[in-house]
Structure 1
Amino acid sequence: MGERLAVVSGGETGIGAAVARALVRDGCDVLIVGRRADVLLATAERVNAECGRPGAAQAVSADLTDPEQLGGVVEAVAGRPVDVVVNNAGGYLGGDVSTLAGTAAHWRTNLDANVLTAVLLTEALRPALRRPGGRVILVSSIAAQRGGGGAYSAAKAALHGWAYDLAGQLGPEQITVNVVSPGYVTGQVLGVNGGSVLGR
């Protein structure tokens, strides 16, 4: 068991899986959180094998848009201080915007996936964040600054405003809050199978 614990949402594939792998290699235990239990388990097993640290990465299945499911994540923490929370869950979610009802559903879906997941996970783990020294990372997108993604761009931009608020609240407890805004990243850069382009 490592001395530090990290929680990574959306860690099944792409950027999240690469972050989980880097944290395990750096000596952290990592809880990889996402909705797809089978993919999560496969990722955790692969990360453990690649890093030579059996059991360091654990899969935790939860829909982070559902407040009722956050209890499972807190339970998996098992009372340990949480050193790092990486809010990576989300992505561009398409939808039918040919009607007002469709537009409303499309916007709500993107806001839930990209903003609400980060808010609920961070708030659920807030009491467990290590003091001093905890780290909260929000994964945004270059689309937050440049546009081009409609509801997705707006949702990612919302993370930046919230980060200022959260940093003001957690800073006095010596917990940092940062936002990273990747552009397009290839699978080869991430060290995952295939060379498909993975956007945030």
Structure 2
Amino acid sequence: MSTLDRLNLRPQEKRLVIGVGIFVFILLNYFLVWPRFDDLNTHKSAMVRSRKKLAEYKAEVDKMPEYKAKLAKLEEGNPMVESAEQALLLIRRVQDQAARSGVTLASQRPVPRVNIKTNDFFEEEGLAISFTSGDKELVDFLVTLGGDNSMIRVRDMDLKPDPSRSQLVCNLTLFASYPKASSRSTPPPAKTTTPSPTVVPPPPKPAAKPAAK
């Protein structure tokens, strides 16, 4: 005897119970089983992405000797300068380059350090200058600055003709990058070996005198 027979249901009631059971079964599959069909593909895609990212990380790790060589080359080309001397060094370099290019500086002022962003290896020093020059002198001045070892670059530039329309009034904001003292690789301190204390042997005991007869 089946379960439906034990319930003493009529044929129409049995069909209704069976229909409700089938509907509940389909509903549970729709909400609980069918959404999980794509989980395998999702996990496979995530695994492929993880392996690809791991391969990229390994490739970057393998490039560490190359990066260290480039860093050493940059450090050799840009000697370390104390922070107190950076502003003065930048002013001197700009003045020298301006004199070589035939540019006469009208004004120059350091840019406050609080407005300068730095990173872990370099710190920047800024200088705002203004001058009036011709086209050729301006181009020579900018090209000469770009080839400087201190990596001087122009961050802001404002150009306009002077009242005579024969020359340009230039306002430039220059920045130079200098290696930080902390970015230099310092060799580990030499180990000092403490000499072991020398043990002084005790003085020999005097020989015993023979007893007098």
Shared fold (TM-score, shorter chain, > 0.5): no
From the CA coordinates, give the structure whose radius of gyration is larger: 2
Q: TM-score, normalised by structure 1?
A: 0.21
